[in-house]
Structure formats: structure tokens, C-alpha cells
Amino acid sequence: MPRYQRRLREVNEAVLATYLAGGNTRRLRGALAPLLKAAPLSRSAVSRIVGRLRGSLERWQQRPLGDLDLVYLYLDALALRVRSAGQVVGVPVLAVVAVLADGQKQLVALELCSGGESFEAWKGWLADLGARGLAAPLLCIIDGHAGLRRAVGTVWPRAAVQRCCVHKLRNLERKAPKHVLAELREDFHRIVYAERLEAARTAWAGFERTWVKRCPAVVKSLEEGGEELLTFFRFPQAQWKTLRTTNAIERLNEEFRRRIKTQGALPTEDAAVVLLFALVASGQIKLRKLDGYPKLASVIRARIRSAA
């Protein structure tokens, strides 16, 4: 054993790996029994080992971003479950996932937003990413939050915007009675799954004729999304499936919920962000390449021509 150390580095690494896989202190002791022999492993020791992840997160949050050759950005807020004042609450964590020029998706930023998801919060955060060197994206895929939309338009006024079609469908469903939801989904899918933009516009007109009298609020909500629900049609068809929704970030939330399913919620807000970061950094949550990524070269060439 090296001087001034109580555990081998391999033990610490095994504790971290088991913790990220979902183990609590009791399970850690059981899983690492062959490695620990009769040596104790207290809850405080586990906390100290896991606490080292916080320093890694802080360095990651301050790193320069000028070397990222990004094309698209997904932006959304995750609601992570934590304990606060004896209750389990959802805490918004702002998240950004980039699509790089080679098609690989990469988590770019996570930021705890205790004050809520607002225009000022998003604007300040996006401006900070720009100050760290993050280039303006060609396309931003976002949900329907008004504060986020305003912030994107303020910080990156030339970026195209795609509103998430899944979020919009959920909004439409909340404004319609249950007995018509299946028909509503079918009509909406005719728009967003059309084979070309002209067919989508025809389906849009048909949607409005069908629903304007039955559910006026549904048509009003669709009109609120406007042309930004159809932005993906301007990009290669092989990429449409991935560009029409913010599912790249939704998957982070799904994997996070799967990880904490046995414990329900984490003890602090910081612990939730640290865990989500560590799951991605360790490779336990992997982001796959963009569908149709070979077509990115033509998108980049078109951007260069338009800039010239």
C-alpha cells in the first residue's frame, strides 16, 4: 500500500464504477467483498470517493469549446428528481448536445438552474458558452419553451430553429378530449412524416380544416409552432428522423431515471448533476451518431457557400 493511502486506486475505481451502475453502500460492500477482504467500507468513505467527481464536473464546465466543429445543437431542460426539505422535487438542469461534423453527438454542457427555466437563464448560459468559444450552430433543435426560443434568437440570430414535434404533439393532446386523441395523432403525423415539404403543407391545411371547429385550441397551438415545426425539411431527408425532435436529450433523462430507479431521488441538486455528467463521461450513457450523418458534408458545404 502506498504511503498515506488507505485504499488502492483500483478499489476507488471499482467503487465509482459500482456506484454509477446503481449500487448503494450496502450493495457496494457486497459487490466488492472479494476485493476488500475484511476491510471496512463506510458510507462516508464512499461519499468521499464519489465526491471527487465534482471536481471533474467543474473542470468540464469551464473547459474551452473553440475546438468543437459543431453543426447542430439540441437544447432542452431536464427535470432531475432530488430531495429538498423532505420532499422529492424536479430540478431543471439545462442541457446542450452537439452534433459534430463527423456526425457524433456529444454532451457539451450541463447547468443546474435552481431559479427556473427562463429567458434570462438561457440567455446568460448561451452567452457564456459563446464566450468559451462555442461556435454558432447551423440549426438549433428545441422544445416549445418561449424563454429558450427568445434566447436562441438573441444569441444566435442566424441559426435556423426546429421545434420538437414530440413536444408539440403533447401540447395538442392536452387541448383535446381523450376520445379524439388517436385521430389527432394520425392527422398530426401526416404533417411531420410527409415525404416532402409540399405534402406537409397540404396535410397542415387539412388538419386546420378538420380541427378548427372541433377543437379550436388545438389549431391555435399548432399555429403557435408555425414554420419552425417544418424546418427539418430543409435538411437532408436521411436526417429528418433525428432533427424533428429533441429525443437526443430525452434519452439522457431516460437513462438517468433508470439509474436512480432503486433510490427514487438523489439527496441534493448538485449530486444529480454530478451523477448525470459522470454517467456520460464514463461511457455508461452513450450518444450514437446522427442518422444520415454522411450527408453532413453537403450541409457544411452549403453553409460555406451561403456565408461567402
Confidence tier at 36 by pLDDT (50, 70, 90): low
Number of domains, the chain: 1
Residues present in the chain in total:
308
Is the residue at 198 inside a domain?
A: no
Grid cell, residue 45, equals 468513505
Query: pLDDT: is 178 or 273 the higher one?
Result: 178
Closest CA to 271 of 32, 81, 43: 81
The residue segments making up the domain with residue 34 are 9-61
Integer Cα distance of 49 and 12 in angstroms: 6
Alpha-carbon separation of residue 45 from 165, 193, 200, 203, 265 (angstroms)? 46, 53, 58, 60, 21
Is the residue at 13 inside a domain?
A: yes
What are the tens digits of pLDDT across the range 175-217?
Answer: 999 999 999 999 999 999 999 999 999 999 999 999 999 999 9
Integer Cα distance of 32 and 233 in angstroms: 52
Confidence tier at 92 by pLDDT (50, 70, 90): confident
Please state the pTM of the whole predicted model.
Answer: 0.85
What are the tens digits of pLDDT across the range 276-286?
Answer: 888 888 787 88
What are the tens digits of pLDDT across the range 63-79?
Answer: 999 999 999 999 998 88
Is the residue at 72 inside a domain?
A: no
Integer Cα distance of 248 and 253 in angstroms: 9
Is the residue at 18 inside a domain?
A: yes
Is the residue at 39 inside a domain?
A: yes
